[in-house]
Amino acid sequence: MTDRKLISRPILLLGLVSLLTDMASEMLYPIAPLYLTGTLGASLIAVGLLEGVAEGMGGWLKGYFGALSDRLGTRAPFVRAGYTLSALSKPLPGLWPASGAVALGRLADRLGKGLRSAPRDALLASYAPAGAQGRAFGFHRAMDTAGAVLGPLAALAFLAWRPGDYRTLFLLAFFPGLLAALCVWRVADAPFPPAPTRRFAPFAVFAYWRAAPRDYRRLVAALTLFGLVNSSDAFLILKAKQVGFSDAAAVGGYVLYNAVYALAAYPAGDLADRLGKRRVMCWGLGLYAAAYVGFALLTQAWQAWACFAAYGLYAAATEGVSKAWIADLAPPEQRGAAMGLQTLLASFSVVVASATAGLLWEKAHPAAPFWVAAAGATLSLLWLRAATRA
């Protein structure tokens, strides 16, 4: 039974906003690579570069605005602006059917995410009771990922009715995003002492590294190493198509991944609070390696379903748990910088990972990026076990 004290009104509201936003985003995310490579004729390298640049830009902004929210002593304005911008980006490819519109919409969406992510996570941590960060972040990830289930299902239902009508789908995704933007204005700020007054600059987020606890630096090093091989999920969808999945089945695999993730996120957070975050994170990285080995060896469609399910368990054991771990390691007035710096480094790693995955797929072998990712996850797991405590 959900702890009423744990899941307070602000945590519920932030969860609802994330559900609606992810529903809007995930109506489009799994079909965007199909739209780009099919309808618009873009290459896989272009898909990889777009995802890498979008994530890299979003990552830099997560670091910048996370540190700025510490400096100003406020979180909510960043959260509100970020969700509103993401909502406004959704219909652009439907209004302008071109590769440039897809790219611009994706970049605007990542700009919105960069504005809100670190301040939102720091705000969420402020509302979580002591010793329950794992459950609070697990609940939030469950709500967020429920949207990632509903979004692709809505997209599948629409495309079954109107096959190939991607333009209208981009327009429809605007409505849940707009509802999220309206709801987020009801989220109250959580006061905390602002960071000491000093000159603020775009690189100020890196100043936190020097003052951060050793366990934070070691955790972030492991997560960044993992990020260097953790390419866009778009490649999982494309790999499923290679073994015979239709467009609808490929999106269905992505829905299964998110459904498993949503169901397992809160229990994984609870386990992390009880058994330790390092242990649960290591389990998650092991599942990632196993799933990617499975994708590398795919020969039949049923194997892809199993790999998508394992991938969902990996996400549940790592995404919210890593945020909760960082929240435990950083004081309230530095959580924006702590969250932002980690996501900045992770997002820049995705630039490398996604571009490299596209090159390996086209120039070496379609299985190559999956082998590289599995090896990198294993190295990160070993580093996490040897160098951190939790």
One-letter amino acid of 196:
P
Residue whose tokens read 């301040």: 119
Residue of 266 and 332 predicted with greater confidence: 266
**Domain assignment of residue 342, yes or no:** yes
pLDDT at residue 1, as a whole number: 36
Band of the pLDDT at 56, cuts 50, 70, 90?
Answer: low
Residue of 167 and 86 predicted with greater confidence: 86
When pLDDT is averaged across residues 191-207 and rounded to a whole number, the result is 64
For residue 338, pLDDT over 60 is answered with yes
Least reliable range by pLDDT among 79-88, 137-146, 199-208: 199-208
pLDDT at residue 61, as a whole number: 83
**Domain assignment of residue 305, yes or no:** yes
> Rounded to 10 degrees, what is the CA torsion of 198, 202, 203, 209?
70
Least reliable range by pLDDT among 52-66, 151-165, 213-227, 261-275: 52-66
Mean pLDDT over all residues of the chain? 83
pLDDT at residue 378, as a whole number: 94
Q: What angle do CA 146, 148, 154 make, to 5 degrees?
A: 100
Band of the pLDDT at 141, cuts 50, 70, 90?
Answer: very high
**Domain assignment of residue 180, yes or no:** yes
When pLDDT is averaged across residues 91-97 and rounded to a whole number, the result is 69
**Domain assignment of residue 196, yes or no:** no
Domain housing 225: 9-185+212-387
pLDDT at residue 44, as a whole number: 61
pLDDT at residue 38, as a whole number: 60
Domains: count for the chain: 1
pLDDT at residue 226, as a whole number: 92
pLDDT at residue 97, as a whole number: 62
**Domain assignment of residue 301, yes or no:** yes
State both tokens at 297. 């060896």
**C-alpha separations of 118 from 61, 67, 122, 332, 383 in Å:** 9, 8, 6, 12, 25
Q: What is the CATH number of the domain that holds 36?
A: 1.20.1250.20
Pairwise CA distance, residues 354 & 118, whole Å: 22
Candidate ranges 120-124, 127-131, 243-247; pick with highest mean pLDDT? 120-124
**Domain assignment of residue 204, yes or no:** no
pLDDT per position as a tens digit, 223-270: 999 999 998 787 888 888 887 777 778 778 888 998 999 999 999 999
